[in-house]
Amino acid sequence: MLTFQKQKIIEICCKHEGLSMKMKGTVSKYPECIHWHFKKGRQRGTLEITLWKEQRRIWFNVQAERTADWIDESVSKLKKSIERELASC
């Protein structure tokens, strides 16, 4: 599947979870990866998601100073919805 499609799946699933994209870029440690920062409304906390095409991996990350109550529940829901959408493609 094209990386662009995977990107769109992640972005759409996050939008359905009520998250807004605050940053989209890359991380030099992971060549050609796509890396996002998502927030939930005006609440504290930032959820980071990385898509690394070369290793066929997607992972969630939360920096210690950016934790929030909403993140654990959102990660659980996003994991299920992203897996479901990727499987259906």
CATH class of 3-79: alpha beta
The set of residues, in sequence order, having a beta carbon less than 8 Å from that of 85 and lying 6+ positions away, is 9, 12, 13
Model pLDDT, residue 1 = 53
Query: Where do the domains of the chain lie?
Result: 3-79
- CB atoms under 10 Å from CB of 34, counted, come to 21
Share of the chain above pLDDT 90, in %: 83
Q: Which 8-state DSSP code applies to residue 17?
A: T
Whether the predicted pLDDT of 48 surpasses 70: yes
Confidence category of residue 6, pLDDT binned at 50, 70, 90: very high
Model pLDDT, residue 2 = 64
Mean pLDDT of 3-21: 95
Dump strand ranges (E) for 6-85: 20-27, 30-39, 47-52, 57-61
Mean pLDDT of 56-82: 97
Model pLDDT, residue 40 = 98
The answer to whether 27 and 50 have CB atoms below 8 angstroms apart is yes
